[in-house]
Each structure stands twice: as structure tokens, then as C-alpha cells.
Amino acid sequence: MNNNFPGGVWPVMLTPYNEKQEIDFNALKELVDWYIKEGVSGLFAVCQSSEMFNLSLEERIELSRSVVKAAAGRVPVIASGHISDSFEDQVAEINEISKTGIDAMILITNRLAREDESDEIWLDNCKKLLKELKTDIPLGFYECPYPYKRLLSIENIKWCAETGRFFFLKDTCCDAEEIRQKLEAIKGSSLKLYNANSSTLLESLRDGATGYSGVMANFHPSLYAWLCKNYEKVKAEDLSDMLAITSLIERQYYPVNAKYYLKTFENIPISTFSRVKEASGLSETFKKEIAALNKISQKLIKQYLD
């Protein structure tokens, strides 16, 4: 493990399945190669896009280990996957996944307190958890929307930053002002913020965010990589507007639509099978919308990357 987390794009990885709904590790390797070819800075394995709540602990461990192996040191790999309600089970999950060679273990914020519990209870549980984990495990946070979205309070994020144990925050608040407050709270610390939201991304990069970690890196990560490197340029604003509009596709039929996009337009040998949605639910209209997205993406790639 290391804590050298570069700025740029960190896709929330998909999990390929075969017709038996088993993880397709051959397709996974090709998917990792594609992400890296597209210019991502790191990989976020075993997250909600990976369907982690529908994977056994053994599958989460093997998925994390396989991504690390496929990346082969070309980019850092982080993973989450402590999905249990029980504190003891979460500790066991974290410790096992941490052994897979990942560069950081990402804690799910909604696992540390129930939806009706206060930020004070959350912080007490966080302190309790840290005592159970080895101090050499780099950590991060993921404001996962499922089963409910728990955003870090400014007070708690400041406390966590001051511990020196946290290095990565996948922020899902989708609010530019709140992101500014979080950036101020972590200023000067080892904790870096990666925005998951396309609409606020450019503004957050200009305010000091380190990069992007969101769904749309499964469609056109190279465009996000360009934006993360060139956010100060005036023409970044036009690209930002296009990325904000095209990101509406994630509300369509995700993650099946992303798998269809990769299979159809990027020639990745990935099926559209999913454990969270029926592949058959991807209608012909949805497919036409994805084809239109591909046309727009290719035009933007020629405009910005060629």
C-alpha cells in the first residue's frame, strides 16, 4: 500500500459477469486495460458501481485482488466493500479486503451510523473503528448513496483530516458551496477530495478538488482526464457544460447501460448481465440514447484530445 494518490480520474469500476452471473475475470482484465489506456489516474474497485452489496465477501476479496493484479502497478487501486450492518463483521471485511494489495481501504460513510443517528454518534463509531484497524492501512471515505446517503459534516471531516490517516474522499454532495467548505476543512492535510458529480466538477477543481471519481468515467474517462488537467483553460467551460448534460445518461438504466456502451462502442468483451438490474430492461430507446452519447463523445474527443 501507498498513499500517493494522484489527481485526475478514478473510475468507479463495473463488475463483469458471465451468463452464470459469476464474475468474469477475463473481461475484468480487459476493462482495467481500457481504463488505463483512457488515461485514468487510479481505479476504485469494489464500490456501488461494482455491485458490492450483491457480492459475497469472497467475491469482494477476489475482485479487489484481481483488479490489483490486472493494474500491475500502472495505477494505484483503492477498494471499499465493508457492507455489513454489524460492527464486528465490518472490521473483519475491512481487514480481509485490506490484504489484497490495494493502496487504500475506503470506508463507506453510511456504515458508521444509522440514518437517524447524529454526527456525534458517527464520529464515536469512527474512532472506535480506527482503534480496530492497523495504523499502516491508508484510509479514505466514500459517501455512498446506498442504502442511504450520509454526507460528512464539516466538523467530522476536519477531525478525520487531522488524524493523518485519511487520503481519499469520494464526495457525493453535488453542492459547490458545500464542497468549498470541505476543501477548506481539509486544507493542508493528506486528505484529498474527488468529486463524483459532473455538474459541479469544473468549479470544484478550480476551488482545489483533486479529481473526479464518478459513474461517467465508465463512458468517456478521457474527457474527464482532459478536464482535470486543463480546468484553468477557458475552453474547459464548454466541455464542462457538455459533460454535465451527457451525465444525465447515468439516470437512465445504470449500470447495464454502461456495460452496453463498453461492449458496443469500446469493444470490451463485457456482457450486460447485472445482479442489480435485468439486462432485458435496457430498451431500444435506451440503446439509441447511448448511441447518441457515443457520437457526442467521439466529437468531443476529436475536438479536445486530437
CA–CA separation, 284 and 120 (whole Å): 48
pLDDT digits (tens, 9 = 90+) for 76-112: 999 999 999 999 999 999 999 999 999 999 999 999 9
Burial category of 207 from C-beta neighbours within 10 Å (exposed 0-12, middle 13-18, buried 19 and up): middle
* Cell output for 33: 486495460
Residue 2 lies in a domain: no
CATH number of the domain residue 209 falls in: 3.20.20.70
Q: Which residue has the higher pLDDT, 276 or 134?
A: 276
Q: Angle 205-12-150 (CA atoms, 0-180°, nearest 5)?
A: 75
Q: What is the DSSP letter of 12?
A: B
Flag whether 121 is in a domain.
yes
Which of the four pLDDT bands, split at 50, 70 and 90, describes residue 1?
low
Active site residue 170: yes
Residue 3 in domain: no
Does pTM top 0.95 for this prediction? yes
> Which one of 142, 224, 254, 261 is the catalytic residue?
142
Q: How many CA atoms lie within 13 A of 238 on its CB side?
A: 7
- Options 170, 182, 192, 259, the catalytic residue: 170
Pairing of strands 139-142, 192-195: unpaired
119 in Cβ contact with 153 (< 8 Å): yes
Q: How far apart are CA 70 and CA 93, in angstroms?
A: 22
Look at residue 183 and tell me if it is in a domain. Answer: yes
Instruction: Establish whether 158 is a catalytic residue.
Output: no
Q: What Rg value do the Cα atoms of the chain yield, rounded?
A: 18
Residue positions counted in the chain: 306
Flag whether pLDDT at 165 surpasses 60.
Answer: yes
Residue 1 lies in a domain: no
Q: How many domains does the chain have?
A: 1
pLDDT, position 306: 84
Q: Answer for the pair 211, 197: CB distance below 8 angstroms, yes or no.
A: no
Integer Cα distance of 90 and 283 in angstroms = 38
Q: Which domain holds residue 253?
A: 8-304
